């Protein structure tokens, strides 16, 4: 879209503008408009931004209800600010289009506030690399150290708001039941109601209850449920699968569906456990697997359950997020090597400022108490992919200025002035997109992901506009000094040429 649609639209627009300029027509008579109330472009833009932010805060921090007087007043003030600033901006843009200055003011070219800030930022950054780079590295090291103390959330129920009625009811039930969980031995066969398979399941239950009383508080299966039914109705032990199915028809549907499937191809042995650590859960799983290893022929057994899934999730988030980050880092480095024709120094300068953000992000998560979840665990790979775009844009603009013959400091100042605003605009659009996740108050996992993403994109902008320029100018200036010390110059085709300086003999003074 950027290459084909956008470029075609810009080209078409500029052709139409040029065609109108070349038309030999008498200029239109412009009448000076009446004095109108305006806030001024900068003030109007600020009010508009604050109004939009305020509107978002109102919706996020309160429950949208127009019956609430405070909410209605907040909405009214915000809407008034947005309308006033929008009208003021429209008037200013109309006057600018007509070439008319505001009443009582001299005509002057206004500079955008971002451009003014970048004009001040560029010279300061290139002069202080020995302050910027050590601070950035220190923050990264501190963040990586604090990463070891960030907790990982494996309770999937915590991914949902704890204020929801259904979660509150579940918590009440868990308090009554003693916060018990269960591991499940899933038994699969062509027909699990075969008396031989049921006998084996009962023997497995007896062994678990006899030998693992310290880990497992009780068991339940279709076999034990069948025994209870037979004892209740005074029936005889079934000898065939059909007789078993007839007895199971007496069970309540909710109990039956939790113990056996409708097609009788899978059954469930529930092993109730107490509060266990991840290591204890894995040990219990290994014990159950050893007990179930002597299953009848044609039977398949698998150990599962929510505690086991949580333990596996903890391991996956711990090692998996590092692997995701390294794999993403590797793909990006490979692509940059092709882009920069295997210039390893350029690749390192493009990636290093963004790699520092991983440490900064960990530090913020630790300070804010944000835990690792399946969403936030992807942030390392995600922010490298987003942030490298910014560094590449600035680097390519910098090398364009260098090819024109400018020195490292002058080239970087020019690059920041020319493309810094576009980089900031691109970053703010990403922030705005992920900021929509903050509305999902019923899903803390999405809110945390949105917060971490917004912070990381802000860090990417800071690293691109402050750390990267300082790093590039510092290294390029050092390389130029070494070349001059060796008597080398860089030609127009970017080749290094050795200078031949003739020796001059000096006469000794009297």
The per-residue pLDDT string of the chain (510 residues; one tens digit each, 9 = 90 and over) reads 888 888 888 888 888 777 776 665 555 544 444 444 455 555 666 666 666 666 666 665 555 555 556 566 666 666 776 776 677 666 666 665 555 544 444 444 556 677 788 888 889 998 988 999 999 999 999 999 998 888 888 777 788 888 888 888 887 887 776 666 788 889 999 888 888 888 888 888 888 888 876 778 788 888 888 888 888 877 777 888 888 888 888 788 888 888 888 888 998 888 888 777 777 788 888 888 888 888 888 889 888 888 888 777 777 776 677 888 888 889 999 988 998 888 898 898 889 998 898 899 999 989 888 888 888 888 888 888 888 989 999 999 999 998 888 889 999 999 999 899 889 988 888 888 888 888 877 888 888 888 899 999 999 999 999 999 999 999 988 888 887 777 665 554 455 555 555 555 555 554
Q: Report the C-alpha gap between 339 and 329 in whole angstroms.
A: 15
Q: Which residues are paired to 15 by β-bridges?
A: none
Cβ contact 456:361 at 8 Å: yes
**Residue 377's CB: how many other CB atoms inside 10 A?**
20
Q: Is the pTM of this model over 0.75?
A: no
Q: Give the number of C-alpha atoms closer than 13 A to the C-alpha of residue 153, restricted to the C-beta side.
A: 19
Q: So what's the pLDDT on residue 68?
A: 59
CA distances from 163 to 62, 159, 442, 449, 491 (A): 14, 12, 8, 19, 68
CA distances from 180 to 217, 235, 258, 269 (A): 9, 33, 17, 16
Apex 315 CA angle, 309 and 320, nearest 5 = 115
């Amino acid at each position: 879209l950027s290459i084909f649609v956008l470029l075609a639209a810009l080209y078409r627009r500029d052709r139409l503008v040029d065609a109108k300029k070349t038309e030999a027509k008498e200029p239109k008579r412009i009448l000076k408009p009446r004095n109108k109330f305006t806030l001024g472009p900068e003030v109007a833009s600020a009010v508009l931004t604050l109004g939009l932010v305020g509107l978002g805060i109102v919706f996020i921090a309160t429950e949208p209800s127009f019956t609430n007087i405070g909410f209605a007043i907040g909405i009214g003030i915000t809407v008034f600010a947005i309308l006033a600033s929008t009208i003021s901006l429209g008037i200013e843009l109309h006057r600018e289009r007509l070439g008319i200055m505001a009443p009582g003011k001299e005509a002057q070219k206004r500079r955008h506030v971002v451009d003014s800030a970048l004009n001040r930022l560029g010279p300061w950054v290139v002069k202080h690399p020995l302050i910027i780079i050590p601070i950035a590295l220190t923050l990264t090291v501190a963040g990586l150290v604090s990463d070891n103390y960030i907790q990982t959330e494996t309770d999937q129920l915590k991914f949902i708001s704890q204020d929801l009625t259904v979660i509150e009811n579940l918590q009440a039930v868990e308090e009554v039941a003693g916060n018990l969980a269960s591991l499940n031995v899933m038994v699969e066969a062509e027909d699990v109601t075969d008396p031989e398979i049921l006998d084996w399941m009962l023997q497995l239950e007896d062994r678990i209850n006899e030998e693992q009383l310290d880990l497992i508080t009780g068991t339940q299966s279709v076999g034990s449920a069948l025994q209870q039914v037979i004892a209740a109705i005074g029936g005889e032990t079934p000898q065939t699968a059909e007789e078993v199915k007839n007895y199971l028809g007496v069970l309540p549907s909710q109990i039956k569906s939790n113990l056996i499937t409708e097609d009788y191809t899978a059954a469930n042995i529930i092993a109730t456990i107490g509060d266990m650590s991840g290591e204890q859960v894995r040990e219990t799983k290994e014990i159950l697997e050893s007990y179930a290893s002597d299953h009848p022929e044609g039977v398949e057994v698998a150990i599962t359950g929510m505690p086991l899934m949580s333990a596996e999730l903890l391991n996956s988030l711990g090692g998996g997020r590092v692997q995701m980050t390294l794999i993403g880092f590797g793909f990006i480095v490979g692509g940059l090597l092709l882009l920069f024709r295997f210039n390893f120094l350029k690749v390192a300068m493009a990636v290093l400022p963004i790699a520092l953000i991983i440490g900064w992000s960990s530090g913020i998560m630790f300070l804010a108490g944000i835990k690792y979840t399946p969403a936030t665990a992807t942030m390392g790979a995600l922010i490298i992919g987003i942030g490298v775009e910014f560094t590449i844009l600035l680097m390519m603009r910098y090398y364009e200025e260098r090819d024109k013959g400018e020195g490292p400091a002058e080239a970087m100042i020019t690059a920041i002035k020319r493309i810094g605003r576009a980089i900031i605009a691109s970053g703010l659009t990403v922030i705005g997109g992920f900021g929509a996740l903050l509305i999902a108050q019923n899903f803390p996992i999405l809110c945390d992901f949105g917060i971490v993403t917004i912070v990381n994109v802000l860090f990417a902008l800071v690293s691109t506009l402050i750390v990267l320029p300082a790093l590039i100018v510092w290294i390029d200036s050092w390389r130029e000094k070494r070349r001059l010390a060796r008597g080398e110059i860089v030609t127009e085709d970017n080749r290094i040429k050795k200078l031949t300086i003739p020796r001059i003999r000096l006469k000794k003074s009297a």
